[in-house]
Amino acid sequence: MIRLYSSNADDFSKNGLLVLDKYCISATAHEELNGEYELELELTNANNYYTNRVKADMILSAPVPVREDFELAELSFITSYRANELLYMYNKASTSGKKLRKVKKNGKLLLIKQKNSSWLRMTNDKGKSGYVQTSKVTLHSTSASGTGDAVFKSDMSSEQLFRIYSVEHTLESVMVKARHITYDLLANYVRALDMPRTAGAAAIEQLLEATMTEH
């Protein structure tokens, strides 16, 4: 679902001003590692009352593919499992480790590597990885990378925010271009700042206070 919000929106839990799905001809997300991250939409009919509401500086919320784990991308075969029960993913191969997230019963997981006979390093359907107990999962399928259940990789997505910077109207459609919301900080410079022996939380607070534009 692609949703449109006002330029100063700060609550994205609802549908906002407009859901664009039925007006959308195409939607493409472009992401480069340490580079640009943009969303391009083509909306139908430039004379449509609803699509004419799309303006520069407004915010879009859209599901975009999660970047594949580099370890997963290097595998020749993709092995998927199902959770036997509600389980946890840990930050290390031990129940004494930190619980990172839950996986519901029958939730789908992809194998990255086997740590030992008791633990597997896996990734869930949101692209988040962690260690899972072998006894908690059951083998579902194995396929060559790029086929079969490997499609699961390209289906992994998460909701991301983009700010519109270009809206171009033609006779048949509206072309919309937007940058990831983090680019709002692109021109927000930090004044000279000295933070000797400052703890983490205090350092972040001082850094934010030193930006040229409040955010």
pTM (two decimals): 0.55
What is the tens place of the pLDDT at every residue in 125-173? 777 788 999 999 998 887 655 544 444 444 455 789 999 999 999 888 9
What gap in Å lies between CA 65 and CA 72, rounded to an integer? 15
Type and span of the H or E element at 133: strand 129-133
Does residue 115 have a pLDDT over 80?
A: yes
In the numeric block, which tokens belong to residue 32?
A: 């480069």
Is CATH 3.30.450.20 the right assignment for the domain spanning 70-155? no
Percentage of residues in the chain having pLDDT higher than 70:
83
Task: Please report, for the chain, the start and end positions of each structural domain, with discontinuous segments joined by +.
Answer: 3-65+157-187, 70-155
What is the tens place of the pLDDT at every residue in 15-53? 999 999 989 998 888 877 667 889 999 998 866 788 889
pLDDT, mean of residues 69-78: 56
Q: Dihedrals φ, ψ of 135, to 5°?
A: -70, -15
> What pLDDT does 144 receive?
58
